[in-house]
Amino acid sequence: MKRCLLIISFDGTAYHGWQVQPGLLTVQKVMNESLEKLLGAPTDVTGCSRTDTGVHAREFAFHIDCDDAIPKEAFLKGLNSILPKDIAVKSCKEVPSDFHARYDILGKRYVYGMYSGNKNPFDERYFLHIDSEPDINLMNKFAATVIGEHDFCGFSSSGRTVEDTVRKISDCSVRKNENKIYFSVTADGFLYNMVRILAGTALAVGYGRLSADVANTVFDRKDRTLAGDTLPAHGLFLDKVFY
């Protein structure tokens, strides 16, 4: 028996997030079924985190235990041939038997994408369309204020299932490439809807609707209503998992 770490990417449009839910199509459900078909037996799949309905991943990690003797290249080719077109395995490697895809994470990076200008049907799937370009400098001023260890209770939705709302952000920034805007944040962990609320707050700051130092007030008062909107899921990508 060996433990393997797999890295996948997926388009989350058709899925109700990663985690198995009764009666719903999820990425984990598809992965379970595909691995069982390939290996000939049920295989427990332990993911690095949950993702919300409609959220995408450029890099998502999970581990499995198996006694499969198929060479790595053949295993990847076989699994990818079974998976639907919107899920792909990027890599697979053997890890120590005590490795855990979720609990051994050092951090994760999420990126939220927006675009301005005329509506583009080829961008609508992965970017939020905004009417006009916000002030990127103001957005970055806001981004700088959330770096560090803070209580992000006011930047999360009421549906969160954890009591500890303190998280440490190591990097947060906004960049522009032509008409595309990318809000990027790296942290040791995230609360429910935290990234989408941070991105929505940054956008509101960029439009001058909120002050660039609004995060300090949200941290002090722990009041969700003082932050910006929760942006739609389709613009959000889990970009990188750090071990």
Question: How high is the pLDDT of residue 67?
Answer: 76
Residue whose pair of structure tokens reads 């609004």 in the numeric block:
214
Are the C-beta atoms of residues 18 and 49 closer than 8 Å to each other? yes
Distances (CA, A) of 46 to 19, 65, 147, 186, 236: 9, 10, 29, 22, 22
Q: Residues 11, 52, 68, 239: which is the catalytic one? A: 52
Q: Is 104 a catalytic residue?
A: no
* pLDDT tens by residue, 155-191: 998 766 788 999 999 999 999 999 999 999 999 999 9
Q: Which domains does the chain have, with CATH numbers?
A: 2-95 (3.30.70.580), 107-242 (3.30.70.660)
CA distance 73 to 58: 20
157 CB-contact burial (10 Å; exposed 0-12 / middle 13-18 / buried 19+):
middle
The two tokens of residue 172 are 């947060």
* pLDDT tens by residue, 40-72: 889 999 999 999 999 999 999 999 998 766 667
> Radius of gyration over alpha carbons of the chain, in Å?
19
CA distance 6 to 236: 21
Spans of the chain, pLDDT less than 70: 68-71, 159-160
Question: How high is the pLDDT of residue 215?
Answer: 98
Q: What percent of the chain has pLDDT over 90?
A: 89
The two tokens of residue 221 are 């008062």
Q: Which residues contact 222 (CB under 8 A, 6 or more apart)?
A: 151, 153, 154
